[in-house]
């Protein structure tokens, strides 16, 4: 894409993104208007727009930033060696998100809005989901080869289920923050473990 053009504006962009993230984290998604964000950056609205084009593009960049940080935490490049380990990685991710409710709300709202194909952030989410599905499928296939997962289930289907569960739990959690999102995930983990025992005895 035509991003990151001149090195001068880049520093300013990063500065704006950092304050935007802080504002959203502190004051919640409600404060994520161009006016509030501009004010927090000591800039006019047009100043912001000059750097990011639209509000949505700005917010997308905020999420993209979080993705980069999360990618390290999840250890994307290492396939998990056990089903339990995979679930725990997801649980860690989800727990980290729970510490920043404003970002969770931003994510839920933007991902719902951007479902419309014309939406400026549509491509971002489409790619993101595609990558997540690929990663999940690869991880689960790997586990299947290791005998950590029953052969009867399709890794692609299960990957979709997991991604959907993570997104859905974050939505549910916004309505009742007493919910521990990791419990739902670990319940799935328990099922995976039991299913593997069951499948194994059927194999032999």
Q: Which C-beta is closer to a copy of itself: that of 129 or that of 142?
A: 129
Binding segment for a copy of itself (CB under 8 A), chosen from 3-11, 45-53, 84-92, 155-163, is 155-163
Site string for DNA, 49-78 (x = CB under 7 A): xxx--xxx----------------------
Which option in DNA, a copy of itself, none does residue 199 bind, with CB closer than 5 to 8 A by kind?
a copy of itself
Q: Could you tell me the end-to-end alpha-carbon distance of the chain, in angstroms, rounded to an integer?
A: 53
Quote the DSSP letter at residue 31.
Answer: G
Closest approach of Cβ 137 to a copy of itself, in Å?
Answer: 12
Residue 113 lies near DNA (rule: CB under 7 A): no
Element (H, E) at 183: helix 181-203
**Region 41-80 residues binding a copy of itself, contact defined as CB under 8 A:** none
Distance CA 162, CA 89 (A): 12
Distance CA 174, CA 177 (A): 6
Alpha helices in 75-180 (DSSP H): 83-98, 101-113, 122-145, 155-175
Out of 10, 76, 116, 146, which residue is the one contacting a copy of itself (CB under 8 A)?
116
Structure tokens at 50: 């000059």
Binding segment for DNA (CB under 7 A), chosen from 35-43, 65-73, 77-85, 158-166, is 35-43
Out of 41, 60, 111, 121, which residue is the one contacting a copy of itself (CB under 8 A)?
111
How far is residue 40 CA from its own chain's centroid?
Answer: 25
Distance CA 122, CA 33 (A): 19
* Residue 202 CB coordination number (10 Å): 10
Residues lying near DNA in the complex (CB under 7 A) are found at 5-6, 8-9, 12, 32-35, 42-47, 49-51, 54-56
């Amino acid at each position: 894409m035509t991003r990151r053009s001149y090195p001068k504006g880049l520093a300013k962009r990063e500065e704006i993104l950092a304050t935007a993230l802080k504002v959203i984290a502190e004051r919640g998604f409600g404060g994520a208007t161009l006016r509030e964000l501009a004010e927090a950056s000591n800039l006019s609205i047009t100043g912001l727009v000059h750097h990011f084009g639209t509000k949505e593009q700005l917010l997308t960049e905020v999420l993209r930033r979080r993705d980069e940080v999360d990618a390290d935490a999840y250890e994307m490049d290492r396939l998990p060696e056990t089903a339990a380990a995979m679930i725990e990685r997801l649980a860690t991710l989800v727990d980290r998100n729970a510490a920043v409710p404003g970002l969770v709300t931003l994510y839920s709202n933007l991902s719902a809005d951007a479902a419309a194909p014309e939406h400026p952030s549509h491509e971002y989410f489409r790619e993101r989901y595609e990558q997540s599905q690929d990663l999940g499928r690869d991880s689960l296939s790997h586990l299947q080869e290791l005998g950590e997962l029953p052969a009867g289930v399709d890794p692609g289907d299960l990957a979709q289920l997991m991604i959907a569960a993570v997104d859905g739990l974050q939505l549910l959690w916004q309505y009742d923050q007493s919910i521990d999102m990791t419990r739902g995930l670990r319940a799935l983990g328990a099922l995976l473990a039991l299913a593997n025992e069951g499948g194994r005895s059927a194999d032999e």
